[in-house]
Structures are given as structure tokens and as C-alpha cells.
Structure 1
């Protein structure tokens, strides 16, 4: 064994807390004192070396000695990792947790129901994925560089199922061990660093956090943090980034060496904001960011063709059922039950809740009819809305039931014989353990609704019935919208009418998305704003006027554009499929511009409308446009550039002096000059530092 090999071996053992007790040309002895037990690893320099004298010596002074074969530092690290991290028992525990998770999903539907992970369409850094989200991540684990995986999806679109599937994939690979944390269970904690340390201590209670962090950075412990958005409790706008940045900085502290960290989150303004991209730029040389966006599930991936045909036959729009909770129900129930509920979309939704609530009567011997269970669950949701929480201690929920439903509980007691009659408190405890409430939290005293769909159902009914309700809290609005997407038209209209008073306070992208998901027309004016990443399908654009507005990275499928209603409208990196245009007598003067879009040339030519002002550009104005764009990378008053990468939508955003119709050609000019180039991330541009002289000349610095 060479001196270099000895040093590497020694460094490996020291990282695990061992001390080098003896080093000779024949043997290395590493000792570890843990209080009650003292251990010694004795490693001979070569195979067949007699180390019995050393063994006896250390045994006599109280060490439990183990003679290891000669090994390299890499072999020692694998052996120490398996021993210290109790790899086999940890995997067994995680497999048991995965089985419990899948059982919770299938259990309500009978013993014959079998769980299977259902894939959904997704994009990786803007490129359509061809496999599955878990496989995208698992295939990158062997890369010798740190990677932050950001998995984004709307509420109820399978983020937790995806996280669980990633963990299960890690369990089956002997080279890795997952550190899984469901952050929604710890969202009351104030400091994110403490949350991570709590999860490390919970998963590896006998190990120091430094050792765990070391193995995270070595790429052996893969960190999966599910529900990162649950920690983002402040209002979702970029001005609150200072509140969120410490969380991201904590994550970046772990992203060293070969670390891999997976975050799942709802789509949130945080990850599209200018400050987030600045944060990414500041760490661009430290780790890679892989953004995965999950779209809504495809019905055909869940249901067999015969069930889809049955739904189509009764006139149900199966596209409305693109919700994992309902699709699981329609997938797992028996054939007779499926036939019984196939009347219309409303009856299918109601049958899900009736099924779950009626099952509860048997499961818990809860002699409360379905309508009364609805009343109790609705009141819990109303209390959450009133006091602004989504999970609370079990004792509080029980107390809320007792305070609000004393008379009802008394009536339920009458359904039991005198010998088996439960007390009020016992009935309230049964209701707090309801299948539609989360009974499987790692914090057993915490209660929340079991999924966003159930939560939203009761939130929506409260919103509709309460004329005084006025709140723009996305924690309640998003689940409410999610739960009413598969409802009949009148139910969706009723919810939209109640939401109209609050959506004006939401970002315009959220307002449009809310209207589209509820099947409402975009009959409100779009002016002086921008929409980001929205999929428009079978909708009219220009039902109301669209003025000085920008669409970024949007999809338009089977849409109709009323050209006369569009003025100073820009489409950046958008895609158009099977769309048409209504051309009426036009009195508007503002242009319509398509930049970097995917569409038929004939469609582009018909929709576009040039603006005479653009043709009046001069060399001085061109220079001003280029200067304006470069200042987005290097703001005025700063000694050096601030951003290395910038999104197209920021570079071409409308200002008081310039519009995207001039900015985009100026950006293309800078690209031709080699001053900026396409970034690896779609819809981004990168500043070319080797052209710093030209950059300074344009900026006059």
C-alpha cells in the first residue's frame, strides 16, 4: 500500500469519525469511541499479513476489534457507508413506507385494487420528455456533478406520487440511499436549515448531520424534498424573494461534489421571477439546474379503452377528468360500480364522495349518514379558510367538531344501543380520523385533508355559499378550482362568479388559468401585462380587447383569434396548432408580432400586423435598443454585469420607450454579432463574456 493510498484511506476513516491509532508499514488501526462501545478496525498492508499481535493488544485495552482485508479508500467508503447508514434496514423501512403509501391509495377500492404509477406528459428544460419523470432523474444520478432537479406541477397532478416513485427507484439501486422529506409535515418551522436538519436526524438518528451532508455531496444519499411550495407562505411575488432566498441558499450549500437534490413544488411565481433567475446565474458554475414541468395526465394512460368508450357514450367530456384522484377512482372501482355511476359528470364526482363517506360508516362503525358527514367536513374546511390554516393539531380539530356539531353528535348517538353508545368525544375522534382527512402524517397530532381534490370540494362549496367571502389566498383558490373542473357547467359558473371578485388581485397568468380550467371564456380585457406558460385550447382570443399584452411560451390549440381586438400584442416562443383567425374590418393601429414561434407560415403571415413606427428606426435608435437589452444583463450603476443568463420575456418586455416589436429584432442583431447567444435553457439568452469590449462600447462604459 503506497503512502498516497494510506492517506486516502485514513481520510476516509476520519470522515466517519475514526482516529488513526496506529500506522506502520505492516498495519493501519482506526479506532472509534462512541461512549459505551469502543471499536477498532485493523487493516493489514497486504493479504496474508499476520496482525494477531495488534489484534490482541487492542482487545486487551477494551476495543472490539475487527480485522478487515486490505482495501482501497473507495472500497472502505462503500463498507463504512453500508455499516453507518444501516443501508439494509433503512431500505426496508423506506420500502415499508412506500407500500403503506400505495396501500392508502388503493385500500378504499377493495382488495383487488392494485397500485401502479401513472406517467404524465412532461418537459425537461422546455423539451418534451420521452420517458417518465422518475427515469429522467434516476438516469442522471451517476453524473459526477451536483444537480438540482426542480419538479413543477399544478395541484393534484401527482407530485407526491412522483417523489415516492423516485424514492422507490433509489431503494432498488444498491448504489444510493434516499433522504426523503415531505415538507408539508413540517411547514410550521421557521428556518429551512432547521427543517433539513430535522429530517436528517429523523432519517438517520444515530449519525451526525455533517457525515450525512458529506455523503449527500458524495452522491450516495439522494435528497428528495416533496412539497417545497408548502414553505412559501408569503405572498407569491418577486418582492418577497428575500424571504425565500435563504431556503435556496441552504440547498445550494449542499450542492457540492456529486450531490443530487430533488424538489417538488406547485408552479409558483417564485421560480419564474427575475430574482430566481439571478440566483441561478449566481450559481451557474456550481451546479446544474434541471427543470421538469409535469402537465395534466392523459386519460388513456389511466383508463382502459372500454371505460373511456363507456364515458364517451354517455356524453361525458373525459378531458375534464384529468385529475389523479378521480382517475384513480374510475380506474380501481369494479366493473359493476363503474356501470352504476356512468350517468353524467356530476354523478361521477358525487359518487366518489358518496363512496368514500359511505365506506367510512363501515370502516369506523360511524353511524352518521353521508349528508351529515358532508356538513362536518365542510365546517372544518370553513374553519381553515376563516383562520388561514391548512393543517392543525388533532386536538384542535376534535375541539372544533365538538364546538360546532354538539347537537348533531347527540343525534348520532341515538343510532347506537345503550351498551355500545360512544361519547361525544369518541365520535369527534372518529371524525378526526376520517378517510378524507390525513391520518398518516409523520406528526400524528396534525390533521389536514387527504388530498387537494377533497380539500377543494369543501372549500369551493363554502366559497359559493358564503356571500361575504373575499380572499385571494392561493392555498384555498387553487384546490377549489381543481375540484370543480369535472363538475357540470352550472357548478363551474357558480364558482367562477364568486371568484371574479378576487381574481383581479391575482397575477394575470393565474387569472387566465383559473378561467380556462373552469371552462370560462376570456371575456375580460387583457392590457399592459403578460401571460406565461399557459395552454389555451378551444378558446377565443380577442373576445374582449387585448392591448399592449405579451404571451410568453404559451400553447394555442384549436383557438380562434379575433384580429380586430388585438393591438400591440406580442407572442414570444409560443406554439400554434390548428388555429384560425377572424379577420374583420380593422380600426386598430397597434401591431401583432410573433417572435420565435412555432406555427404555419401562412397562419403567421395572416395573424401578424406590422406597425409603421418600426420602419422608422434609425441607427441611433438601434443603438439605444441594444443598450437597453444589455442593461438587463448589466444594470446602470453597477461596476460589473449582474446576470449571465436572461429570459427572452425579460429582455423583450414592453417599456415606456420600447416595445417587443423593436426589442426582439435588436436581440437578434446582438445574437448575430456574437454578443449574446442561445442559452442551454430554452427561451433564455446568455451574455458572451469574451465580447466584453463590444459590450462596453455599446453601453458606453
Structure 2
């Protein structure tokens, strides 16, 4: 396609019509009608072309004219993008929104408090990161290929701050514009495609969604989807991958050209499941994936030495307060309040909430005791749990306060003189503007708790106060648990007892994290199951019996492994740091397949059946290999013909005992058939598939194993 034709296509993409072409193709005239105004743009293909008469004629016809000299196609696209997307104005607006967001996080701590994005430890594609999570993304934002960035973190551990920091860096350090979508604030549209279109229309109301999507694919607009897990409603965050695939396919449709899409989410089974990895493999040639997992913050990154030492000297377990909300509080409060707080380390959480609630009495002249404010906030959290939302319209929140907190409102009104007494609606408005609530910087009418720590605190109070509480929505359970980690052992135990009835309905990884966070030990019913990517510290593995269980790609730090409590347990590609083994008599097999340890404990932990001490006979090995390879034929397909479709299997699945073979035998068999080229391991997802090019070798094994 010629440069001229390409230029015409670019202008048409932006809504222009080609009105005329001058003699000898020296210039082009494009027209555009925007509301009341008619615009014309004269493009000089020849820098020496005279367009004065053309300019006069168009002006006389009522057009607002401008003249440009054609340079390169890229320059023309850049000028159109800057003009239509009002890049300069949009950057100023986004910078202001970032300032408001940063201010909202620290304004409760006084005028001198300053916001700073704290570098949190993270892993990128399974390896320890060296920069910050936003810097990792920025370093790849100019690459000439589509990339999906997946940022995962626990509730309250920096997902939104990271998303905002990425947006700010795009504005200040690149020529890109961010399309920032805070998904918790859009609950009206149930179909993700419509949610995305809503966000496009909100951010760029004067432009067509088709144009915006084109510039996303061209790489000029980077999409940030903050809180993707908010779309996984109660009852949907399970194994029904087919219900979520349309969301991912909508994203994949945008991931062409130079598109960059950034998703933040809490860790969910959706992104850990085999189906998701198979979906990634199906798009292996379409886009790249960069996966970032944000870990717990390090106290040294948040607090200076002069604040860490008093806390340590008070006997406080510093690891227990490794929560961004508490660390922000301890970082920002004045020296006198910090001194009082550090003298009562057990009351740090209560001190935070009392500080916030007491300050609200003065800030808003809200004549309501701390206890009554807590009752109101607990009622709002109760409504959120009941109706499955984390943010709602301001009018709805006010209505809920008026309906559910009438006694509290009347009690507050009675504290004012007759002449100053506010109406019920005015008190409800004050409560809806509470410092522990937050208005979205992008949708000012949506209200939710200011952070997951605050949400979790009042969710936990509901759980504890209701002896029959049942729930499985991790958007509420996970924040509740994280808000109780810094508290006393007795408080954590009370919450754990309140959650006991719900644990059977929660996925295994979440049950393990709840149990270790609150009680410091594993659940007592780990059997006939498997988990991936766990990160456990200071936990006894085997103090409660674990049977027929598989840990894959997990990290254990300073853990004790009690062999008498492990029966038919398999560790695949796990990492062990500063761990010890209590060899008090094994009762079953313990397989260590791959992985590393420092210091070396694998030989001590491993416990192989006696029949495995001798090498396997060749015939036995062929039977094992056949058992592995046949799993790559869809059910019903004859083994003497090529599979009707490709199948991808994770290592953890292939190592599960089958056909009378144990995990160690299967693992060794997988290594043999991969080395022979019959199976191949996908580098992106670590899934294993059949190598069709060597299918004759598979047929040979089938014949030998008969």
C-alpha cells in the first residue's frame, strides 16, 4: 500500500472523509463534522504546493481550516492521536486523579503525612524480582508485541496502589495513555465486554469505542483492569472455567499488534487452574504473558530504624504487622502517638481504628461514639456480604444507613442542641463520607471501604458475632483473615472458629492459607487433593496427618516436616529453605520429585517403598510409559490413530498415581518420554503435550507394552 493510501486510511480511521485531491496529487483535503462545527484539514504531500486559494474557498464555505505538511505516516498518526485524545489535557487530568488517590491514602494521618509507593517483594514468572512491579511493566511497555501482564496479590497487599503507580508512570514517563478501569466500581453490566465498553466511553466520551480499541492494539493506550477478581461473583470462582472464558477471549481479542493489558487480581483458582494454562497455550503464538506475584511487605521498606527498634524492644512480632495499612499508620502518625502505640504492641490494630474513628468526630463534627460508629460500619459490611458487593452508589449506602441504623442516628442527633440538630439524612450523609469509606477517583458516586484491611475488620466482626455464619466468597473471607493476622493468638482463634463451618466449601489453597495465617498450622483434612504455588513459613508439615496429597511448585521456609504424619505425600519441583525433618518413623511413601533444598534435607525427607529400591525391568518401564502417553488421547479416540485434538497436561496431574504406578515411577517415566521427544514441555505454562512429529515412537511403546 502506498504512503498516500495509508495516510487516507489513517484519517478515515479518525472519522475524516476524503473531500478532494488536488491536481498532480500535491495535497489532500479531509473534512470532519463534529457537532455544530465543520472542520477541514489540508495535507500538503508536496511541501512546495500552494494551497492559499483552497484554504480561502474552504473557509468561505464555513469550514475551520488547518494546513499540515505530510511528513511520515507515523508522525501523522501521532498528531491525530494527540489531537483527538487531547493527550496533554488527559495527562493533566490523570495526574490530578493520581494526586487525589495518593492524598486519600494518607490524609487521615494529618497534613504532614506524605504518600510514597513502597517497593514490595515480588516474583516475576517464578523468579525473584529486582525492580518494582510497576518498573517491570514499564520496561516492557515499548516492546513491539502484545503482552498480558497478570499481577496477583492477597487482599490489601497493594494491587490498587500498583495499578495506580503504573498509570502514573505511563503518564509521566512514556508517550502512552492509560485506560484505567476499577472493576469493583462497575456492577451494573454483567457481561465483561460491556463493562470494558463502559470504561472506554467513560474515559474517552467523545470518541468511538472502535477508535479507542484500535489505538489499544496500536500500543498507544495501555489497558489497566484493576480488581479482575471482582467480576468473579459468589458461586462463580470455582471450576466452571467455561463461564470465565468469554472474559478472557474478550481480552485476547484486544491483544494484537502492540497491545498491553495489565490485570490486577487476588489469587484465584481461575488463574491457577489447568484450563487457564491450556487457554494460554492456545494463544501461545498470539501474545506473551508476564506473571507477577506481590509478596508480603518487608518492614524495613516501610519504617525507619528509629521506629522499628522501639517496636522490636517492646516484644512485638514484627512479621505479624507486615500489613500495608498498619505499616502506613505506624509510618505516618506523629512521634507522640507512635510512642503511645509502641508501648502497647498488642493494641496496634485497635489503636489504628480508634484513631480513625476518633478523628472523624472532630473532622465532621460527628457526635457519635467510637462504639456506635463501629456498629454502623459493621452493618454496612453485613449488607455487603449479604448482597455480594464491595462498592455501591452513594445513594444506596445512605439508604442502607437510614434503614439499618436508625437508633444509632437518633442517638447521635440527641448530642446536638435543638438549634444545631442535624436531620437524619444529614447524619447519614456524614457517615457515608466517613474516612473509612472511600470514593473512587474515577467514579465519585461509588463508595466502598477505604481498604481491604478495614473491610476485613468489619466482616470479621460479623463472622464472630454470628455463630451460624456460613460463606464462601473469598472477597470477604480473605480480607477478614488478613485483618486478624496482626492480632493476638486468642483473637485469631476466635475468628478461625467462626470460619470453621465455611471451610469445607472453600478451595484447598484458601483453606491452607486461612489455617496457617490464623492458627499457624495446616488444616486437619488434607487428603486426596493437590495444591500449587504455596508459600509457607514456620509451619509444621505433618503435625496433622496428610494423606494422598501433592504439593507442586511450592516454597517452604523454616518449616518442620514430621514424617510420621505424611502418608503417600508427593512434592513436585518444590523449594525448601532452612527446613528440618523430624524422622519419628514413616508410615507411608514420601516422594520428592525435582526441586531444591538449602541445607540439603531431600534425602532425609524422602521415603520410598521398598519395592522401588531395585531398578525397574524394561517391560515394567514400557507399561509405565504407555500409561503416561495414552493420557494424551481424548476419551474414545483409538490409540492406533492420531489424537483428534491436542491435549495439555500439567506435571502434577501426570504424577498422580494411576494404573497401579506410584508418583515416583510416573515422574521417572515422564522424564524418559520427554527425553525421547515423545512428549514436549511448554516453556510458557509448564504444560506437557504430545509431540505429533514423534508419534511413531509412541506407537512403538504401545506395541512393546502389549
TM-score in terms of structure 1 length: 0.95
Give 1:217 shift. 0.4
Match of 1:518, SS state, is helix
Aligned residue runs from structure 1 range 283-294, under 5 A: 283-294=283-294
Give 1:278 shift. 1.6
- CA–CA separation in structure 2 for the residues paired with 1:208 and 1:387: 34
Aligned residue runs from structure 1 range 128-277, under 5 A: 128-235=128-235, 239-277=239-277
Q: Tell me, yes or no, if structure 1 residue 680 matches structure 2 residue 683.
A: yes
8 Å Cα contact 1:645/1:679 also seen in 2: no
Q: What's the RMSD between the two structures over aligned residues?
A: 2.1
- Greater Cα shift, 310-319 or 518-527: 518-527
CA-to-aligned-CA distance 1:601-660 (integer Å, 9 cap, x gap):
841111111123445845454334334434554433466465575432233234464432
Tell me the residue number matched to 1:635: 634
8 Å Cα contact 1:125/1:682 also seen in 2: no
- CA–CA separation in structure 1 for the residues paired with 2:153 and 2:667: 30
- CA–CA separation in structure 2 for the residues paired with 1:175 and 1:546: 54
Aligned residue runs from structure 1 range 136-535, under 5 A: 136-235=136-235, 239-440=239-440, 442-522=442-522, 524-535=524-535
8 Å Cα contact 2:185/2:392 also seen in 1: no
Change (3 A) 1:175 1:398: closer
- CA–CA separation in structure 1 for the residues paired with 2:630 and 2:97: 52
8 Å Cα contact 2:540/2:561 also seen in 1: yes
Tell me the residue number matched to 2:596: 598
- CA–CA separation in structure 2 for the residues paired with 1:695 and 1:175: 52
Match of 2:354, SS state, is helix
8 Å Cα contact 1:345/1:487 also seen in 2: no
Give 1:321 shift. 1.1
Give 1:505 shift. 2.1
Tell me the residue number matched to 1:623: 622
CA-to-aligned-CA distance 1:489-536 (integer Å, 9 cap, x gap):
110011111212221222222111111111432261421111222222
Aligned residue runs from structure 1 range 45-60, under 5 A: 45-60=45-60
Change (3 A) 1:611 1:36: same
Q: Tell me, yes or no, if structure 1 residue 694 matches structure 2 residue 697.
A: yes
Tell me the residue number matched to 1:108: 108
Match of 1:239, SS state, is coil
Change (3 A) 1:224 1:392: closer
Change (3 A) 1:236 1:320: farther
CA-to-aligned-CA distance 1:213-255 (integer Å, 9 cap, x gap):
1110001110011000000114355532111111111011111
Match of 1:117, SS state, is coil
Match of 1:501, SS state, is coil
Change (3 A) 1:177 1:641: farther
- CA–CA separation in structure 2 for the residues paired with 1:160 and 1:486: 22
Tell me the residue number matched to 1:20: 18
How many corresponding residue pairs? 696
Change (3 A) 1:367 1:601: closer
- CA–CA separation in structure 2 for the residues paired with 1:404 and 1:61: 64
Tell me the residue number matched to 1:545: 545
- CA–CA separation in structure 1 for the residues paired with 2:567 and 2:112: 58
CA-to-aligned-CA distance 1:286-315 (integer Å, 9 cap, x gap):
111111111111111111122111111001
- Greater Cα shift, 522-531 or 559-568: 522-531
Match of 1:522, SS state, is coil
Gaps of 5+ in 2: none
Q: Tell me, yes or no, if structure 1 residue 653 matches structure 2 residue 656.
A: yes
8 Å Cα contact 2:563/2:585 also seen in 1: no
CA-to-aligned-CA distance 1:417-454 (integer Å, 9 cap, x gap):
22211012211221122111223464444432221111
- CA–CA separation in structure 1 for the residues paired with 2:598 and 2:435: 51
Give 1:344 shift. 3.7
- CA–CA separation in structure 1 for the residues paired with 2:237 and 2:630: 23
- CA–CA separation in structure 2 for the residues paired with 1:460 and 1:320: 18
Match of 2:529, SS state, is strand
CA-to-aligned-CA distance 1:440-480 (integer Å, 9 cap, x gap):
46444443222111111111122112112122222221111
Q: Tell me, yes or no, if structure 1 residue 669 matches structure 2 residue 672.
A: yes
Give 1:559 shift. 1.2
Give 1:140 shift. 0.7
Change (3 A) 1:274 1:602: closer
8 Å Cα contact 1:277/1:646 also seen in 2: no
- CA–CA separation in structure 2 for the residues paired with 1:620 and 1:360: 77
CA-to-aligned-CA distance 1:316-346 (integer Å, 9 cap, x gap):
1111111111111111111111111113443
- CA–CA separation in structure 1 for the residues paired with 2:61 and 2:695: 67
TM-score in terms of structure 2 length: 0.94
- CA–CA separation in structure 1 for the residues paired with 2:389 and 2:188: 10
8 Å Cα contact 1:544/1:565 also seen in 2: yes
- Greater Cα shift, 506-515 or 233-242: 233-242
Match of 1:21, SS state, is strand
- CA–CA separation in structure 2 for the residues paired with 1:523 and 1:240: 25
Change (3 A) 1:31 1:666: same
- Greater Cα shift, 459-468 or 649-658: 649-658
Gaps of 5+ in 1: none
Match of 2:561, SS state, is strand
Change (3 A) 1:677 1:310: farther
8 Å Cα contact 2:368/2:412 also seen in 1: yes
Give 1:141 shift. 1.2
- Greater Cα shift, 7-16 or 261-270: 7-16
- Greater Cα shift, 88-97 or 636-645: 636-645
Give 1:689 shift. 4.6
Match of 1:105, SS state, is helix
Tell me the residue number matched to 1:574: 574
- CA–CA separation in structure 1 for the residues paired with 2:235 and 2:411: 43
8 Å Cα contact 1:148/1:288 also seen in 2: yes
Give 1:19 shift. 2.1
Change (3 A) 1:115 1:642: farther
- Greater Cα shift, 557-566 or 653-662: 653-662
- Greater Cα shift, 43-52 or 226-235: 43-52
**Paired residue for 1:11, among 9, 12, 15?**
9
- CA–CA separation in structure 1 for the residues paired with 2:687 and 2:306: 44
- Greater Cα shift, 201-210 or 342-351: 342-351
